[in-house]
Chain A
Amino acid sequence: MLNCKQASQLASRAMDEKLPFWERAALKLHLFLCRSCTNFTQQLNFLREVSRRSRTSSNFQLSEKAKQRIASALKSKQDGD
């Protein structure tokens, strides 16, 4: 029987790769019995979703203005070299 530390590691890995059959079964059983790890699994999905969406938020993307400014600074440097 997995403990929570092991189950959370498997849950995290399952976000990126397909787990082998027995690990998947053991995780499923643990999650069926454990509220905390079920919550953690939900957090993993939450993190994935907000991360994907954050890409287009202004906090993670240069503004068009900044892009143009930097591109022209680079161009004049490159031309001057």
Chain B
Amino acid sequence: MTTNNKDLNIQTLFEEYGDYLFSYAILKVKDSHFAEDLVQETLLAAFTAKNSFSSQSSIRTWLTGILKHKISDHFRRQGREVKIEDLVDQDEADGLDAFFKSNGRWIQKPDAFPSPEAALQQQEFWKIFQQCLAGLRPKQAEVFLAKEIYGLSNADICKDFTLSSTNVWVLMHRARLSLGNCFKINWKS
């Protein structure tokens, strides 16, 4: 065991990553009690498996990896087979073909959205927002959560997810396009 692993304090990890893990879990299991339990299980497992943390990876990636296994177990217990592969990244091609014609024009022209204030007054808005986040590709959802919701800087995102800054903005751009489309389809303002 390196000093690094011994110094991993599970309470500190909880304070730092608890909300992030919770919001990731709830996107997948859609139930706050299950999501809370998953966070607890994840951190307990992290404590037991402290030695498996290698300083090569970031703590966020390591914890999210444990959480993904817990989510997959949770679905298996429910008789729903969700493979761990569904929770990690698939091969992503350009990804923009779904949004633009070959001449670079929009396939679905974006609409103007109402103001955020108006949206937040609608009760179903958060549900739709979560549903749309849940529909993103795994890595897009993780990066979007960390960056836009938990306010991580681009530099921290690059470090935590071991991505180049180009990767980050490509992922973010796709996430934003997908969310825009999802709102258009699901949200009757």
Contacts and interface: CB of A to CB of B under 8 A. Distances in A.
A51 B148 contact: yes
A60 B112 CA distance: 26
A49 to B, nearest CB: 4
A53 interface: yes
A70 B109 contact: no
B149 A58 contact: no
Given A3-B105, A53-B116, A70-B40, A78 B10 contact: yes
A51 B116 CA distance: 10
A70 B14 contact: yes
Q: Is the interface of A mostly helix, strand, loop or mixed?
A: helix
**Residue among A4, A42, A60, A66 having the largest count of chain B Cβ atoms under 10 Å:** A60
Given A5-B96, A60-B23, A71-B11, A40 B180 contact: yes
Interface in B109-158: 109-113, 115-116, 119-120, 125-126, 129-130, 144, 148-151, 154
Interface in A24-56: 35-37, 39-40, 42-44, 46-55
Interface stretch (B56-64, B85-93, B168-176): B168-176
On chain A, which size bracket covers the interface? 35 or more
Contacts of B183: 43
Interface of B: 10-11, 14, 18-19, 22-23, 26, 32, 36, 39-40, 43-44, 47, 96, 99-100, 103-106, 109-113, 115-116, 119-120, 125-126, 129-130, 144, 148-151, 154, 169, 172-173, 176-177, 179-180, 183
